[in-house]
């Protein structure tokens, strides 16, 4: 039985969403095609009607996840954009994000796999990261600070996930939030506390 183009597109989207959650939770490299398709109630053979290879799925999955992050973490230059960025960073550096990698940012969860991926995956990733950095640089008014905040957030989340105790996790997140509060305060203004 042939499925409609609409059904195929819906299945592909569900495959991307499910693959993203599974990969962020368990790692992409160790998750087989059969396991990915099983979450949809389909066989591994059906996978190849949606993607030519597992690597192609990985590339599209990373790009999709980063586009979603950009839409959540981006904003407009000026105070409204800065306020939104501060709220987003506070949510990013939260225990909920640490404890639910399947629902969070793809970079700390799959960064090591992205770094080992082929050049086309890394180029697509780089494009999205550069777009996020450029957006933050416009909001903050400083490209170097935008890079520093991006690196701080990724490193802090990864470090917090490595910690066994909730207390240590909270210390890592709290220290990063304090640093960001002071970094993001507009010149001549008291810092706006991050939650």
Over the stretch 2-26, which tens digit does the pLDDT of each residue have? 667 787 788 888 888 888 888 888 8
Query: Angle 136-121-71 (CA atoms, 0-180°, nearest 5)?
Result: 30
Look up the pTM and report it.
Answer: 0.80
Over the stretch 128-164, which tens digit does the pLDDT of each residue have? 999 999 999 999 899 999 999 999 999 999 999 999 9
A 10 A CB-CB count for 140 gives 20
**For tokens 């059904």, what's the residue?**
7
Over the stretch 158-189, which tens digit does the pLDDT of each residue have? 999 999 999 999 999 999 999 998 888 765 44
- Closest alpha carbon to 66 in 17, 108, 125, 146: 125
Cβ burial, residue 71 (10 Å; 0-12/13-18/19+): exposed
Task: Specify the CATH class of 54-184 in words.
Answer: mainly alpha
């Amino acid at each position: 039985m042939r499925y409609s183009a609409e059904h195929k597109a819906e299945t592909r989207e569900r495959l991307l969403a499910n693959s993203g959650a599974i990969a962020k939770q368990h790692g992409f490299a160790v998750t087989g095609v059969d396991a990915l398709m099983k979450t949809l109630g389909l066989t591994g053979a059906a996978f190849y009607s949606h993607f030519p290879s597992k690597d192609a799925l990985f590339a599209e999955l990373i790009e999709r996840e980063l586009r979603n992050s950009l839409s959540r973490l981006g904003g407009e230059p000026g105070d409204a954009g800065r306020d939104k960025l501060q709220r987003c960073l506070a949510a990013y550096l939260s225990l909920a994000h640490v404890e639910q990698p399947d629902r969070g940012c793809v970079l700390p969860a799959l960064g090591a796999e992205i770094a080992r991926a082929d050049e086309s995956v890394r180029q697509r990733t780089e494009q999205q990261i550069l777009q996020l950095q450029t957006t933050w640089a416009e909001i903050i008014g400083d490209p170097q600070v935008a890079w520093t905040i991006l690196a701080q957030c990724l490193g802090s989340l990864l470090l917090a996930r490595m910690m066994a105790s909730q207390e240590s996790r909270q210390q890592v997140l709290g220290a990063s939030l304090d640093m960001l509060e002071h970094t993001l305060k507009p010149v001549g203004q008291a810092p706006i506390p991050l939650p």
